[in-house]
Amino acid sequence: MKIGEFAKMCGTKISVLRHYDKEKLLVPEHIDIFSGYRYYTSEQILIFHRITALKKAGFSLQDIREIISSDKTNEEINELFIRKENELLVAFENLKEAKLTMTKLDILFKNNKAIIKTTPDCNAKDLCTLAEAELKSQDYQRVSQYNIGNGEITCEVIKLGEEIDLPDLELPFENDENVVGKWEIIGIYAVKADFYDNLFCVKNFYGGEQKYLYFLPEGQQYWAFSWTKGYLKTPDYSEYETEQIGNDLFMFVSLKEYEYTRGGKPCCLVLKKLDSKEYTVEEIAKKDDINKPFVNDEQILGKWKAHSFLGYQGGKSEFTTEAEPIEDLYFKEIEFFPDGNCRCVYEDDIFEGEDKVTWTKNYLLRKWNWSACEYEIRVVDGKEYMIIEWKSGDYRFGGYDTNYYVFIRA
């Protein structure tokens, strides 16, 4: 049948069929080479309705083309639908969250208590989630669980003040064999009761990049963490207690976070023990290939002075020659020698020697912490700049992307 008749049979427009032909979704069975007329078969009506149904379900034209034109099995096609269902569920939850954030709360603060009026549009748990952000935006810390009833939600709060420095404290090591091993980070709760109530986490530990925490033998430090009996150092000492819940051992840490330094109370970091293995720092660190063969690079030879530091957000794209030099950088200086040796000067240490640090073309090999830091040289207005990866503990233990130092030829 001609394209006009086929369009009527499908309940669509000719322009739609021409678009589907162009996109290779529904190609005419035959095109007359003299007249250019497109001819379709009745069997293609089913294909058209399948395309329509897939479009309504949210599949892209590329996905539809893959489903329609491929020799996928029923199982493979079913997997595509399951994936789309999951995408739609996530989109629906995101839509609900976006709608929730637009809800205006009626909050009254009275005698160190927050009183939130409930609304018929939101359930109590959603209102608690929204209230958490609202309290923070007004510099309040919640220090009790939520009480729900009589058309309102109440909780005790503290008005936060100016940030203060916590006193340095050093405690002697005392062993606690019960805590050695690997712990899963469940999350940080405003109060311990939130965990028991299965309420939301206030936030994840260290930005959510870290999934596990290790208690190494003898309280050995890795990254920013060490411990002694009854305390986790993060770097401030925070008291912990353990509790057996069913078959699992949990740890509750009174974590001295940002709110604590502003006159608030500790939050509750919750961990669940996974094993009792005696891990080493080398085992848990992310390790690069530090045994790359030496390849010379004449351009890198000589001494370089630290100029500036590029953070996580933009990485190397943040680089600009207009940035003012930073005087108190931790990494001070690098000197590259022709034989692959080099000398790195830090604020409180100097590393040199083949067992500590070497280099090869494009990489500084910091063997003492298993990191291969890629460098790049840029010449701007006759000045040579070296941008080099800075793989700190955030990278090696926390799963973060690398930062960058900018050096200028001395």
Examine residue 337 and state whether it is found in any structural domain, yes or no.
Answer: yes
* pLDDT on residue 330: 94
- Domain extent at residue 127: 107-159
Q: Which CATH number goes with the domain that contains 11? A: 1.10.1660.10
CB 185 within 8 A of CB 210: yes
Residue 405 and residue 321 share a domain: yes
Examine residue 101 and state whether it is found in any structural domain, yes or no.
Answer: no
Number of domains observed in the structure of the chain: 4
Residue 270 and residue 306 share a domain: no
Write out residues in the chain with pLDDT < 50, as ranges: none
* pLDDT on residue 202: 65
* pLDDT on residue 203: 61
Token pair 């790049």: residue: 376
Laid out side by side, the sheet with 383-390 consists of 350-352, 342-346, 331-336, 302-310, 403-409, 383-390, 371-380, 363-366, 357-360
**E-strand stretches of 118-265:** 140-142, 147-149, 152-159, 181-189, 212-215, 226-228, 231-233, 237-245, 248-255
Residue 308 and residue 403 share a domain: yes
